[in-house]
Amino acid sequence: MAIEIERKFLVTGDGWRFLSSGIVYRQGYIATEELKTVRIRVFGKEARLTIKGPTIGRTRAEFEYPIPLKDAEEMLNTLCKPTLIEKTRYKIPLHHLIWEIDEFHGANQGLILAEVELKSERQIVELPDWIGEEVSDDPRYFNSALAKHPYSQW
């Protein structure tokens, strides 16, 4: 089974801004119920269908498949529930990990989150100086939750 183990943090500084160039992402959710999600994501000239299970601790099942870009655009426009997630993602290699910084746009403008995927929940993570409060356990910061209750409405 494919799994995802991640920690999520608010970003407080700008020290990351010049460490990577970003890629614009658009994603939407076909289904979000009982902490299970079916997501469509478009970035660059690629598209993915992702199915995620409930989070237990910081681990959850994740299955991701490439799909045709044209199909993904059609699904975003016709099948996904409002609000679409719009963000620029920056990938920064640091201390043997890849940090993903998401700078949100649209209804979630003003929110900047950092995620790091781990090999185990016990893995020690050296935090860069631009990392703020950890929000891994706050479901409001899940992208699926931000699609239902955008940051601008908090």
Handedness of CA 104, 84, 1, 141 (dihedral sign): positive
CB 29 within 8 A of CB 50: no
The number of CA neighbours under 13 Å toward the Cβ of 138 is: 10
- Of the listed 29, 65, 90, 151, which one is catalytic? 29
Tell me the C-alpha distance between 11 and 57, whole Å: 22
Q: Is 29 marked active-site? A: yes
Question: CA 77, CA 141: separation in Å to the nearest integer?
Answer: 23
Catalytic annotation, residues: 29
